[in-house]
Homo-oligomer: A and B are copies of this chain.
Amino acid sequence: MSANAPVAIIMGSRSDWPVLKKAAEMLDELGVAYDAKVVSAHRTPERMYAFAKGAKAAGYKVIIAGAGGAAHLPGMTASLTDLPVLGVPIESKALKGMDSLLSIVQMPAGIPVGTLAIGEAGAKNAGILAARILAVTDAALADRVAAFSAAQTASVAETVEDA
């Protein structure tokens, strides 16, 4: 665990890591430290309680939580901390992540989860959004975020086929 990592990436199952890793890679690219760990709402509810209630004291600023199916991890975490929580719906086998998405995004008034797209695009975007949040008061990070955006724009060739 990095000392003072501002971002925690948690996920309901180790099998979610190939997806959530995209968030981690994005944070690496933007120079933001993070910890990643498996915290299952359903199989390790006490670990989740302990993690979420202690997240602020542990120095985290933003939490990225990914889960699939009846995905309760992001919402439960958001109910146990006042930190901003970003949710990543994992694509589920039968319903292709529609269940994951609705379980994460349709939170009742009072407990927000900022939800990203289903799957890898959402995971990558969770990393970027965490960085945008931290960049609000970190000018150097803001510069790196801006550089990332500019580079992304520049990388889009206009031609439809390779020369």
Contact = CB atoms under 8 A, between A and B. Distances in A.
Interface of A: 11-14, 17, 20-22, 36-47, 49, 61-62, 68-72, 75-76, 78-80, 82-84, 86, 91-99, 101-121, 124-126, 128-129, 132-137, 142, 145-146, 149, 152-153, 155-161
A70 B107 contact: yes
A37 B129 contact: no
5 contacts: A11-B160, A70-B102, A84-B129, A103-B106, A114-B116
B38 A156 contact: yes
A40 B78 CA distance: 13
A116 B112 contact: yes
A94 B97 CA distance: 7
Nearest to A62: B136
A78 to B, nearest CB: 8
A114 B114 contact: yes
A98 B101 contact: no
Contact of A95 (B14, B96, B152): B96
B106 A161 contact: no
A82 B38 contact: no
B75 A70 contact: yes
* Interface-central residue, A39, A115, A149, A152, by most chain B CB under 10 Å: A115
Contacts of A62: 136
A78 B79 CA distance: 18
